[in-house]
Amino acid sequence: MMDVKRIISKIEKGYIKNNLKKEQRVDGRGLWDYRDFEIKTGIITAAEGSCDISLGGTRIMIGVKYDVGTPFPDTPDEGVCTVMAELLPLASPLFERGPPDEESIELARVVDRGIRHADCVQTKKLCIQKDEAVYIIFIDMYVINHSGNMIDCGAVGSLAALLSAKIPQGKWTENGPEWTGEYISGKDIINELPLAITFGKIDDMLFLDPNLAEELVSDGRITISVTKDQITSIQKSGSTTFEIDEIKMLSKKAFEAADKLREDLNLWQYAENIEEE
């Protein structure tokens, strides 16, 4: 991993901190503002669902694929949805070739936890035949440009890719699973839309959606994944600590930010678009 000190200077660190003290950001945002999202679905023809998503300068390509396998013994009538992430070296000088590192594992796990604990994917609807065959859904994220806050970008993009998906509908026969000629749509299997909301912390200053420069000088961050009415997961990283009052305040901010994103992004439209084709 490249030395962060070579990426950002002490002068820039001071400039970022001084602006935050005045409740300003170097990119012109307020403390609780997101950068702009741009979302395109259906861009990978070989995938069952796909999304090209940008959050500011951060860009992630996401594909949804499936396989048919045997269910786990303790959930004989439920399918599986799993998330993976790859940080491509072309995305940032901070990324290197090789096996998944801590950052890519964290990205995949935090996005996965937000989805899994929210009853987002209705896994019982992924069952073809109890004890015999279920769908295994793979969400693969490829970061192609890193400009901060990959988690929130990947979480929104994963939902859009899932909603846009069309999975061949299977039925059980004496010869095993066979295709019916119909499809299962994203709207059929998606129940909740959990959004990951990430906050950065520098000294005692808190702010939403850290960009890359802010991440590099941050003491840590916290991601709170929420549905409309409940927190589904919380993940903290970095050396900083968060006081109870800070977590309560950020939880409230997370619900407020998520409500605004749901209204602005209207993610259900990506399921509707696929049905109209």
Query: In sequence order, which residues have a C-beta less than 8 Å from that of residue 112 and are 6 or more positions away?
Result: 82, 83
Number of folded domains in the chain?
1
pLDDT digits over 57-111, tens only? 999 999 999 999 999 999 999 999 999 999 998 888 778 777 777 889 999 999 9
Q: How far, in Å, are 129, 246, 271 from residue 160 at the CA level?
A: 28, 31, 8
**CATH label of the domain that carries residue 47:** 3.30.230.70
User: Residue 80: phi, psi to the nearest 5?
Assistant: -135, 140
What is the span of the domain harbouring residue 184?
4-276
pLDDT digits over 232-250, tens only? 999 999 889 999 999 999 9
pTM for this entry: 0.91
pLDDT digits over 11-61, tens only? 778 888 888 888 889 889 999 999 999 999 999 999 999 999 999 999 999
| Distance, CA of 231 to CA of 224 (rounded, Å) | 7
